[in-house]
Amino acid sequence: MLSEQNKVSVNIEDEMRKSYMDYAMSVIVGRALPDVRDGLKPVHRRVLFAMNELNNDYNKPYKKSARVVGDVIGKYHPHGDSAVYDTIVRMAQDFSMRHPLVDGQGNFGSVDGDSAAAMRYTEVRMDRLAHELLNDIDKETVEFGPNYDDSLEEPLVLPCKYPNLLVNGSEGIAVGMATKIPPHNLGEIIDGLIAIINNPKLEVEELLEHISGPDFPTGGFIMGRDSIHQAYRTGRGIIPMRAKAMVEQNSRTSRESIIVTEIPFQVNKARLIEKIADLVRDKKIEGISDLRDESDRDGMRIVIELKRDSIPQVVLNQLYKMTPMHSSFGIIMLAIVKGQPQILTLREVLDHFIDHRK
């Protein structure tokens, strides 16, 4: 038993507050939010570093996903293998990432929400752009720290030749806060960087001449520019998105169809089709005679056949109103800056990247 002189009285409310804050910051910094410099959360950084250590580069043969997962959880990330594999899968999906960082071979899921094959069946290697995130890491360009058991060292940030936080975006939920950064066009982001380097006093309005807005991997339209400008100026905003659809006429039957070729980011195609079918069955939309998915490896194609007396624009407006063909993307540009979470403007994100590369 402790002697009276070794006992320390602690107010339970103070201890709960301190312990919860310690836990919250651990989740925020160590798991849920990306670093502003390389745009990666720790698990993504560890996956790419482990692949680099395995020489699993874009110009080398593929390796079994299970091999990479084993190295990551054994050396750097002592958590469940499913969490690491899910990270690898997402980095290989061209409908989730504007520029995939993992080149996958096998079934890595689909925009319909299908799951990827088990890690023992799929193979991976780094994509070319992932190689550019790690280039020069062996030249003492970034700081390293001990891994979870002090047996190895891992990078605390990657050298990162381009602003990955903006190019691929990021999404995560921490304790009491969340981040949701949309992906952008790589060429536009580089043009914006060059403009800032040439003119350090560049205003946000001038920067927007180079960066027109987010560039989502599934395509679609962004409705209006005011919401984009607000998000870039303040770090917060809501962007309305709409599917790309056109009206085609069948030369044989003379019937018209609505053809959907692009859908809003993060919309599940199979659930969208199911939603349209439910609306037709419940007679909330009455101008549709047939619905089918003709998507293939060449691209997306949802065919919505119309009844002879239907007005295509009326049906299309109903689809936008009642289905995820019209949805929104809420932007919160939150990232870790010098160990602390901060909401950043577009200019601030680019400035932090330039400082990192210096």
The model's pLDDT over 327-354, given as tens digits with 9 standing for 90+, comes to 999 999 999 999 889 999 999 999 999 9
Cα 188 to Cα 190: distance, rounded to the nearest angstrom: 5
Tell whether 146 and 32 lie within a shared domain: yes
Cα 264 to Cα 222: distance, rounded to the nearest angstrom: 9
pTM for the whole structure: 0.89
CA distances from 222 to 39, 167, 196 (A): 23, 17, 25
Active-site pick, 20, 23, 58, 121:
121
> Can you give the CATH number for the domain in which 275 is found?
3.30.1360.40
Count how many domains the chain has: 2
The burial class, CB within 10 Å (0-12 / 13-18 / 19+), for 84 is: buried
The model's pLDDT over 27-73, given as tens digits with 9 standing for 90+, comes to 666 678 999 999 999 999 999 999 999 999 999 999 999 999 999 99
- How big is the chain, counted in residues? 358
Cα 252 to Cα 213: distance, rounded to the nearest angstrom: 41
The single residue listed with the structure tokens 């400082």 is 355
Cα 225 to Cα 205: distance, rounded to the nearest angstrom: 12
Q: Render each residue's pLDDT in the chain as its tens digit; 358 residues.
A: 556 667 777 788 877 887 767 666 666 666 789 999 999 999 999 999 999 999 999 999 999 999 999 999 999 988 889 999 999 999 999 999 999 999 999 999 999 999 999 999 999 999 999 999 999 999 989 999 999 899 999 999 999 999 999 999 999 887 778 899 999 999 999 999 999 999 999 988 889 999 999 999 999 999 988 999 999 999 999 999 999 999 998 878 778 999 999 999 999 999 999 999 999 999 999 999 999 999 998 899 999 999 988 999 999 999 999 999 999 999 999 999 998 899 999 999 999 999 999 8
Tell whether 45 and 160 lie within a shared domain: yes
Tell whether 339 and 314 lie within a shared domain: no
Tell whether 121 and 150 lie within a shared domain: yes
Question: Does 202 fall in a domain?
Answer: no
> Can you give the CATH number for the domain in which 44 is found?
3.90.199.10
Cα 126 to Cα 158: distance, rounded to the nearest angstrom: 14
Nearest to 354 by CA among 186, 169, 197: 197
Q: Answer yes or no: 76 catalytic.
A: no
Contact indicator for 166, 347 with CB cutoff of 8 Å:
no
Domain residues for the domain of 161 are 22-177+333-357
Strands (E), the chain: 63-64, 102-105, 123-126, 144-146, 153-155, 170-173, 178-181, 221-222, 236-242, 244-249, 256-262, 288-293, 302-306, 326-332, 334-337, 340-343
Question: Does 284 fall in a domain?
Answer: yes
